[in-house]
Amino acid sequence: MSQTYRKERLDELLLRELDSIIGYELADPRVSGVSVNRVDATRDLQVARIYVTLMDDSVSSDDALNGLHSAQGFIRSQIAERINLRRVPDLVFRIDRSLGETQRIEEIIDALTYAEDASEKDAPST
């Protein structure tokens, strides 16, 4: 149980620090508008997967990931200064597509609800 608690605490700490570093300290225009949504460290705390969302549509996801990858050394050094860890986990950046999928599902549900309401209005009353 303590291992799970430690992992959750590390995920939360990394989320806060990464959001601050990426949002305010990186000058690379490829990562402007990148927001950290979720951090998922492995059980052994050696690797952390960072899920990011692009808030700026002018930057492609490939460019943003390349920008984050090129700034990885700086980001890891900042994490090492801010969080007391024996070893800073390796960072793997991924695009979080769950927000887009959620919006798509909501649009489908809304369309179904609208179609159902329209069919009820057209049905003859008995």
Distance CA(58)–CA(93), nearest Å, equals 19
Same domain, 24 and 41: yes
Distance CA(3)–CA(42), nearest Å, equals 11
Same domain, 102 and 91: no
Same domain, 82 and 126: no
Q: Provide the residue range defining the domain that includes 125.
A: 98-126
- Burial class (CB within 10 angstroms; exposed 0-12, middle 13-18, buried 19+) of 50: buried
* Positive or negative torsion for Cα 61, 66, 67, 71: positive
Same domain, 32 and 54: yes
Same domain, 61 and 77: yes
Same domain, 23 and 74: yes
Q: Determine if the pTM surpasses 0.85.
A: no
Strands lying side by side in the sheet with 47-54: 34-41, 47-54, 90-95
Same domain, 74 and 120: no
The number of domains in the chain is 2
What DSSP designation does 28 have? Answer: -
Per-residue confidence in pLDDT tens, the chain, 126 aa: 467 888 899 999 999 999 999 999 999 999 988 999 999 999 888 999 999 998 877 788 899 999 999 999 999 999 999 998 889 999 999 998 876 677 778 888 888 777 666 666 666 655
Same domain, 126 and 106: yes
